[in-house]
Structure 1
Amino acid sequence: MDITTILGLILGVGFLTGAFVLEGGHIGSLFQGTAAMIVIGGTLAALMVSTPLEQLKQLPKILKIAFTHKPKDPLDVIDELVSLATIARREGILALEEKIESYDDDFFKNGIRLVVDGVDPELVRSIMETELSFIEDRHSKGAALFEQAGGFAPTMGIIGTVMGLVHVLSNLEDASKLGPSIAVAFIATLYGVASANVVWLPIANKLKVRSKQEILIRELMIEGILSIQAGENPSILGQKLKVFLAPANREKKEETAGREVGEADVETA
């Protein structure tokens, strides 16, 4: 569970409603069913019009990534690649075949399988990079869904407000009701702007961050698998792959990683 996504949504809604109440507003006046219908229903309808059905079906899965996805630790991936490089140097590339099914990442498994099958390194790189480009494309489409919703919602809010003002202006007989009626009309705009900036656009940005994290992991896998195929020294491989990471992240498990690489070198010798 990604606590930052959930906590951020709670804090966003909480601060907005809390500030409204502190200013003397009544929290009950923020809840307007018709405004919610116009903004939420209109936004979803606009998404349906602009997005193919196949992509819309992925919405629950995309939301799950934003709320529950836990990315792999790059250092754990590097340690695993160093371990595989040690096995390959000690027992040969074919020894990796026994390890393939122990992994739950299809991208990683397919890469190791290509190497075990003796596929040319350039072809291995081409296949894996092509698959990576399609993964990145799918991720960008998922984030684009929420970006579109973030664009539609404020517009739907304005539409709701205009509809409310039309209703107000058509009933001017009772001047005492004008103030409350206009306030209700503007709730739709509030819903549209708030939902765009607290929900839709932040989730789109979170998905982009998740995508970059996963792409980095995949790039590490590609470089590591090709290095294993080339028979590189495990310790050199570990140092090379850490170049992909920011200096602060390389030091996160530096002592542990160094000890593991040292043990790998002893075994290789």
Structure 2
Amino acid sequence: MNPSTLIGMLVGIMLLATVLLFSTEDPALFINLPGLGIVLFGTMAATFISYPLREVLRIFGLLGTVLRNERLYARKDIEELVSLSRLWMAGDLKAVERALDNVANPFLKTGAQLVVDMTPEEDVMDLLQWRIARLRAREHAEAQLFRVMATYAPAFGMVGTLVGLVNLMFLLGDGDMTSIGQQMAIALMTTFYGVLLANLLFKPVAVKLERRTEERVALMNTIMQGISMMNRKRSPALMRETLNSFMAHYQDEINDGRKGKPAALQR
């Protein structure tokens, strides 16, 4: 599991436990199934109306992505690209083809294959840039899905609050304090559930997905620069230093204060 996600989940559970144990004499007061149902089902209903079914069904897969400890093996990709460039400059096409079969990164493999096929550099760069733009747009839409849900959850929390207040108005004349208390609980707890889900689940997932996209795009841009250098038959040693310097600078920007040059980008 992703360490930061695990820490966030544990701290969130500790926060809720603190609220339940130390802010009330009866923790069961914070459990209100009708209010929770209004928020959850209302949010899901609005999401299904807003998005096609195939996109909504990806929510669970995206949650799994956030939980996994994914790594982008930047140094491994750079070394593979340098090795391919060295074989390409030596004119050993068969060795290049064999090496391409072992490349795991499809973006790198496509770019190198186009170079081997003597595709003009402008066409190679256009294709790679299009693939980067497509990935950025797709993953932005995935993160936006959770941001939209983060706006729906508090709104349906307010819907539950209004429902509880309307029912409360009808019960005030009867003077039944038990019923009045139950309706007041629905009125208050739905807002609590909506705000909690929005700020402790939906928004953090959206931010983590956006951060994941930034890292992936940075690596793809690095590879694209290497493909361009390979096409121009630049020195493999120069390629290695250039790409490693690029990734080291990126690491400095996203890991302020950390020393060293890790072998892989990780979330």
Q: Shared fold (TM-score greater than 0.5)?
A: yes
> Counterpart amino acid of 2:191?
T
Q: Is the 8 A contact 1:164 1:182 kept in 2?
A: yes
Residue 49 (structure 1) aligns with: 49
Residue 34 (structure 1) aligns with: 34
Residue 136 (structure 2) aligns with: 136
- Whether 2:182 is the aligned partner of 1:174: answer no
- Superposed structure 1 runs of 4+ greater than 6 Å apart: none
> Counterpart amino acid of 1:34?
P
Q: Is the 8 A contact 1:13 1:198 kept in 2?
A: no
CA distance 1:95–1:226, change in 2 (3 Å): farther
Residue 97 (structure 2) aligns with: 97
Percent identity among equivalent residues? 26
In 1, Cα distance between equivalents of 2:170 and 2:17: 31
In 1, Cα distance between equivalents of 2:105 and 2:247: 21
Deviation of 1:94 after TM superposition, in Å, equals 5.3
CA distance 1:221–1:93, change in 2 (3 Å): farther
> Counterpart amino acid of 2:14?
G
Residue 188 (structure 1) aligns with: 190
Q: Is the 8 A contact 1:224 1:241 kept in 2?
A: yes
1:77-226 pair list within 5 angstroms: 77-92=77-92, 95-172=95-172, 173-174=174-175, 176-177=177-178, 178-226=180-228
Deviation of 1:30 after TM superposition, in Å, equals 1.6
> Counterpart amino acid of 2:211?
V
CA distance 1:41–1:6, change in 2 (3 Å): farther
TM-score, normalization by structure 1: 0.86
Deviation of 1:75 after TM superposition, in Å, equals 2.7
Aligned residue pairs: how many?
255
Name structure 1 gaps, 5 residues minimum.
Answer: 257-269
Q: Is the 8 A contact 2:222 2:247 kept in 1?
A: no
In 1, Cα distance between equivalents of 2:249 and 2:222: 16
CA distance 1:25–1:180, change in 2 (3 Å): farther
In 2, Cα distance between equivalents of 1:215 and 1:241: 14
SS at match of 2:171: coil
Q: Is the 8 A contact 1:94 1:116 kept in 2?
A: no
Q: What are the superposed Cα offsets for residues 40-74 of structure 1, whole Å, 9 maximum, x if unpaired?
A: 11101111111122322332332222121513132
